[in-house]
Amino acid sequence: MLLLIAIVIWCANLEFRKLSLSDEGRYSEIPRYMAQSGDWITPRLNGIKYFEKPPLQYWATAAAYEAFGEHQWTARLWSALTGFLGLLLTWWMGRRLYTPRIGAYAALVLGSSFLYVAIAHINTLDMGVTFFLTLALAGITLGLAPGADPRTSRRWLYAAWAGCALAVLSKGLIGIVLPVAVVLLYVLVKRNFWLLLRLRIPTGSLLFLAISAPWFVAVSLANPEFPYFFFIHEHLQRYTTTIHARYQPWYYFIPIALLGMLPWLLTLADAFARAWKRPRESGFDATLFLLLWTGFIFVFFSLSDSKLPSYILPIFPALALLTAQRLAAISGRALAWQLSVIAALALIALAAVPFTPRLASASIPRELYLNQMPWLYAAAAALLVGTLAAIACARRERVAHAVTICAFAALASVQLLIASEDSLSPAHSTYHAIDKLKPYLKPGVPFYSVGGYEQTLPFYIKRTVTLVDYQDEMAFGLTQEPRLWVPDMASFERLWRTQENALAVMPLEMYARLTAAGLPMQLIEHDTERVFVRSAARLQPTGVSP
Total structural domains in the chain?
3
183 and 290 assigned to the same domain: yes
Range of the domain at 362: 331-427
Q: Are residues 309 and 272 in the same domain?
A: yes
Which of 300, 329, 358 lies at the terminal end of a domain, its last residue?
329
Give the pLDDT band of residue 242 (cuts 50, 70, 90).
Answer: low
* Cα separation, 489 vs 87, whole angstroms: 50
In a domain, 10, yes or no: no
pLDDT, residue 541, reads 43
Q: What is the DSSP letter of 462?
A: T
Mean pLDDT of 504-517: 94
**Does residue 542 fall inside a structural domain?**
no
Same domain, 76 and 25: yes
First to last CA, the chain: 52
Q: Which of 427, 460, 491 marks a domain boundary?
A: 427
Each residue of 388-417: pLDDT tens digit? Answer: 999 999 999 999 999 999 999 999 999 999
Q: Which residue type is seen at 112?
A: S
pTM of the entire structure?
Answer: 0.93
Adjacent-strand bridge partners of 381: none
The larger pLDDT score, comparing residue 236 to residue 148, is at 148
- Are β-strands 530-535 and 522-526 bridged in parallel, bridged antiparallel, or unpaired? antiparallel
Task: State yes or no: pLDDT of 543 exceeds 70.
Answer: no
Same domain flag for 199 and 66: yes
Q: How many angstroms separate the CA atoms of 247 and 4, rounded?
A: 41
Q: Within 10 A of 245 (CB to CB), how many other CB atoms are there?
A: 6
Asked whether residue 2 is domain-assigned, the answer is: no
Q: So what's the pLDDT on residue 16?
A: 93
> Is residue 236 predicted with pLDDT exceeding 90?
no
Do 80 and 123 belong together in one domain? Answer: yes
Last residue of a domain, one of 279, 310, 329: 329
Instruction: Assess if residue 392 is contained within a domain.
Output: yes
Residue 544 pLDDT exceeds 60: no
Same domain, 31 and 51: yes
User: Are residues 138 and 276 both part of a single domain?
Assistant: yes
Taking 60 as the threshold, does the pLDDT of residue 481 lie above it?
yes
pLDDT (0 to 100) of residue 241: 60
Tell me, yes or no, whether 197 and 252 share the same domain.
Answer: yes
Q: Is residue 304 situated within a structural domain?
A: yes
Which residues contact residue 374 at a Cβ distance below 8 angstroms, ignoring those fewer than 6 apart? none
**Residue 545 domain flag:** no
pLDDT of the residue at 240: 64
pLDDT at residue 7, rounded to an integer: 95
Whether 546 is in a domain gets the answer no
> pLDDT tens, 316-336?
999 999 999 999 999 999 999
Within a domain: 217 = yes
Nearest to 133 by CA among 161, 109, 114: 161
**Are residues 419 and 441 part of one domain?**
no
- Tens digits of per-residue pLDDT, 64-75? 999 999 999 999
Check pLDDT > 60 for residue 53: yes
Residues 311 and 435 in one domain: no
Identify whether residues 408 and 311 lie together within a single domain: no
Does 267 score more than 70 pLDDT?
yes
Q: Among residues of the chain, what percentage have pLDDT more than 70?
A: 96
Model pLDDT, residue 539: 47
Sheet of 502-507, strand order = 485-486, 466-468, 447-450, 502-507, 530-535, 522-526
Name the average pLDDT for the chain.
Answer: 92
Tell me: do 45 and 143 sit in the same domain: yes
Q: What is the phi-psi region of residue 106: left when phi exceeds 0, alpha when psi lies from -120 to 50, beta otherwise?
A: alpha
